[in-house]
Amino acid sequence: MAQRTFSIIKPDAVSKGHAGAILAEIEKAGFKLVSIRKQTISKQQAQGFYHVHAARPFFNDLCEFMSSGPIFLMVLEKENAIADLRKLMGATNPANAEEGTIRKMFAESIQANAIHGSDAEDTAAFEIAYWFAGYELL
């Protein structure tokens, strides 16, 4: 059965002009784009989105970074979407990402790592509902 996941093309990749190439990799891998929106988010919106990381030392820098410029917010759909997108993205730290993954190709650093993808069904449900209204997901 088709599954949905949430993804972000992060400010580093958008500012370097990699958004189209990343979308092409995602579509080539069989994901359907259910919804997509370009937006510059506030630091407060980033803090709410990343609330599970609030106690981490990198939390403030991460929220500053995510609100530093336009991003693409996306809902993607395919069989096994959550795990398959994580595999396509590669390791969080691009230094550890495998050849052919989006982070290997486009990420700069562990923070400016080009793309986000939900890590489980419950986080995907939270993240989709955080950014998109039901009528945008038909």
- Residues tagged in the binding site annotation: 10, 58, 86, 92, 103, 113
Show binding-site residues for ATP: 10, 58, 86, 92, 103, 113
**Binding segment for ligand CMP among 21-29, 32-40, 71-79, 110-118 (CB under 6 A)?**
110-118
Closer residue to ligand CMP, CB minimum distance, 34 or 117:
117
Q: What span, in angstroms and rounded, lies between the C-alpha atoms of 63 and 17?
A: 21
Token readout for 19 is 């958004």
111 binds ligand CMP (CB under 6 A): yes
5 binds ligand CMP (CB under 6 A): no
Name residue 79's amino acid: E
**Binding segment for ligand CMP among 12-20, 33-41, 74-82, 106-114 (CB under 6 A)?**
106-114
Cβ 114 vs Cβ 13: under 8 Å: yes
Query: Of 59, 60, 62, 88, nearest to 74 (Cα)?
Result: 88
124 binds ligand CMP (CB under 6 A): no
Spatial CB neighbours of 61, under 8 Å, sequence gap ≥ 6:
111
Please provide the distance, in angstroms rounded to a whole number, between the alpha carbons at the two ends of the chain: 17
Q: Which residues bind ligand CMP (CB under 6 A)?
A: 53, 58, 62, 92, 110-111, 113, 116
